[in-house]
């Protein structure tokens, strides 16, 4: 099967689409990034990254203006060999699965695609949605091949993982599967073939498993701290040279644009019988509440200035989507005298310089364990809450008990 020459990535200037487009371009394909955000389009075409992604900038500079361009003009689809739809996970304002916006987007795409081209659904979808899109294509009378090939990258590691992780491909017919194989073998020969429903569930299983794994650690953290014990000491003890605890994650905020939403979608697919997923959501989403409740009981937050260090949803990231640090800030605003927030990467006019925050804060809570915070020094009377175990020798007072210094 001949490899495609021109690929259009729809939603191509985002956290998933842009790294994928850069990799394809560096593999010799002509890539067009189709996006609606003109600011991001201009940034990419100027050879700059609109967000943080390790090793992406240098690879972008090699191909931009030559093998890769960004545009808002959908006419770029008319001579494409393949279009890869990298759109946000389709959920409504209550995070329930929805296909309305997806149908609208797909209809606009296929109306412009040439006959015998390939449409790849790359985003996470509710199980069965690929089949619905396939039936919609069949009813349209257009000869457009369809496949579902989910992304499985971690933000910040996309440039490495796209090239090294196995790629899952799926389709309803042999020709579409062959076309998908020809496309993705351009970047990675390690391909796994599944049925579309299997591939949809594989992606949801992956993110839900990670979310539940974090919930186990966060539940243990809550148990230990409730009894005034140091969770980090227990964690270090049970993981030290003990291989059966290798997958035991550290405690911390489990957030971001995928994990919660995908767990919710799997829960909806199960008819709300996904009890482990439900429990994980209660634990992970409840962690900010637990922190505030413990501080309220012990430290009289009403008289304290509280600082949250790190507003991104994870370390070394500028992505604040679904960050639990913002939920924490809302809770603290009700309870504390004043709430100060800072982050070296996140763009937010409400954030303050780190130096100002450290100087004024009575209580410091680590929201995201950025490397920039590693060597911070705190006064002896500062209360420090470190769920992550980032400062093992500096935590002055645990949220649930006496001094750990």
pLDDT value of position 405: 32
Average pLDDT over residues 225-231: 94
What is the rounded distance in angstroms from the CA atom of residue 141 to the CA atom of residue 176?
Answer: 16
CA distances from 342 to 150, 288, 330, 362, 366 (A): 34, 17, 15, 15, 10
User: Is the predicted pLDDT of residue 279 greater than 80, yes or no?
Assistant: yes
Q: Write down how long the chain is.
A: 405
The pLDDT tens digits for 292-308 are 999 998 877 999 999 99
Instruction: Give the residue carrying structure tokens 């569930």.
Output: 201
What fold characterizes domain 6-194? Rossmann fold (3.40.50)
Banded model confidence at residue 87, pLDDT cuts 50, 70, 90: confident
| Signed CA dihedral, 338, 343, 349, 355: sign only | positive
What is the rounded distance in angstroms from the CA atom of residue 374 to the CA atom of residue 25?
Answer: 37
pLDDT value of position 294: 94
The pLDDT tens digits for 364-398 are 999 999 999 999 989 889 999 999 999 987 654 44
> What is the H or E stretch that residue 56 is in?
helix 56-63
What is the rounded distance in angstroms from the CA atom of residue 229 to the CA atom of residue 235?
Answer: 11
Banded model confidence at residue 55, pLDDT cuts 50, 70, 90: very high
The structural domains of the chain, with segments of one domain joined by +, span: 6-194, 204-385
What is the rounded distance in angstroms from the CA atom of residue 327 to the CA atom of residue 347?
Answer: 17
Using alpha carbons only, what angle is made at residue 109 by residues 108 and 110, rounded to the nearest 5 degrees? 100
In this structure, what DSSP letter does residue 169 have?
E
The pLDDT tens digits for 92-131 are 656 566 777 778 888 899 999 999 999 999 988 889 999 9
What is the rounded distance in angstroms from the CA atom of residue 336 to the CA atom of residue 296?
Answer: 9
What is the rounded distance in angstroms from the CA atom of residue 372 to the CA atom of residue 261?
Answer: 29
- Return the bridge partners of 9, or none: 33, 84
What is the rounded distance in angstroms from the CA atom of residue 215 to the CA atom of residue 285?
Answer: 9
CA distances from 214 to 156, 239, 242 (A): 19, 15, 19
User: Is the predicted pLDDT of residue 404 greater than 60, yes or no?
Assistant: no
Average pLDDT over residues 288-294: 97
Q: Which CATH class is domain 204-385?
A: alpha beta
The pLDDT tens digits for 192-212 are 999 999 999 999 999 999 999
User: Is the predicted pLDDT of residue 281 greater than 50, yes or no?
Assistant: yes
Banded model confidence at residue 400, pLDDT cuts 50, 70, 90: very low
- Strands annotated E in 251-404: 305-309, 338-342, 363-366, 383-385
What is the rounded distance in angstroms from the CA atom of residue 90 to the CA atom of residue 99?
Answer: 6
DSSP strand pairing (82-85 vs 338-342)? unpaired
pLDDT value of position 241: 96
User: Is the predicted pLDDT of residue 78 greater than 90, yes or no?
Assistant: yes
pTM: 0.92
What is the rounded distance in angstroms from the CA atom of residue 385 to the CA atom of residue 353?
Answer: 20
């Amino acid at each position: 099967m001949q490899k495609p020459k021109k690929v259009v990535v729809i939603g191509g200037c985002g956290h998933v689409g842009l790294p994928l487009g850069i990799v394809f371009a560096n593999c010799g394909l002509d890539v067009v990034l189709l996006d609606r955000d003109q600011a991001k389009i201009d940034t990419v075409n100027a050879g700059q990254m609109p967000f943080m992604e390790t090793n992406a900038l240098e690879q972008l500079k090699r191909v931009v203006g030559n093998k890769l361009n960004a545009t808002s003009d959908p006419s770029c689809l008319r001579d494409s060999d393949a279009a890869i739809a990298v759109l946000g996970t389709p959920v409504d304002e209550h995070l329930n699965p929805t296909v309305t916006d997806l149908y609208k987007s797909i209809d606009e795409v296929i109306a412009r695609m040439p006959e015998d081209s390939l449409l790849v659904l790359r985003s996470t979808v509710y199980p069965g949605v690929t089949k619905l899109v396939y039936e919609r294509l069949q009813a349209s009378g257009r000869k457009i091949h369809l496949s579902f090939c989910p992304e499985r990258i971690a933000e910040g590691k996309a440039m490495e993982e796209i090239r090294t992780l196995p790629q899952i491909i799926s389709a309803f017919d042999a020709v579409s599967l062959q076309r998908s194989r020809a496309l993705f073998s351009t970047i990675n020969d390690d391909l796994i073939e599944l049925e579309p429903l299997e591939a949809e569930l594989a992606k949801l299983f992956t993110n839900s498993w990670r979310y539940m794994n974090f919930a186990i650690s966060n539940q243990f953290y809550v148990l230990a701290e409730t009894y005034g014990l140091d969770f980090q000491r227990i964690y270090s003890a049970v993981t030290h040279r003990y291989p059966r605890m290798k997958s035991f994650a550290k405690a911390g905020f489990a957030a971001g644009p995928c994990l919660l939403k995908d767990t919710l979608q799997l829960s909806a697919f199960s008819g709300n019988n996904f009890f482990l997923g439900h429990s994980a959501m209660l634990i992970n989403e409840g962690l900010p509440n637990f922190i505030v409740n413990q501080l309220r009981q012990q430290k009289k937050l009403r008289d304290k200035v509280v600082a949250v260090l790190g507003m991104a949803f994870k370390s070394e990231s500028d992505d604040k989507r679904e960050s639990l640090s913002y939920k924490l800030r809302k809770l603290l605003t009700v309870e504390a005298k004043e709430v100060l927030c800072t982050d070296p990467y996140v763009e937010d006019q409400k954030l303050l310089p780190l130096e100002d925050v450290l100087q004024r804060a009575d209580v410091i809570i680590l929201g995201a364990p950025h490397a920039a915070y590693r060597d911070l020094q705190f006064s002896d009377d500062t209360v420090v809450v470190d769920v992550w175990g980032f400062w093992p020798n500096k935590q002055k007072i645990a949220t649930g008990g006496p001094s750990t210094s």
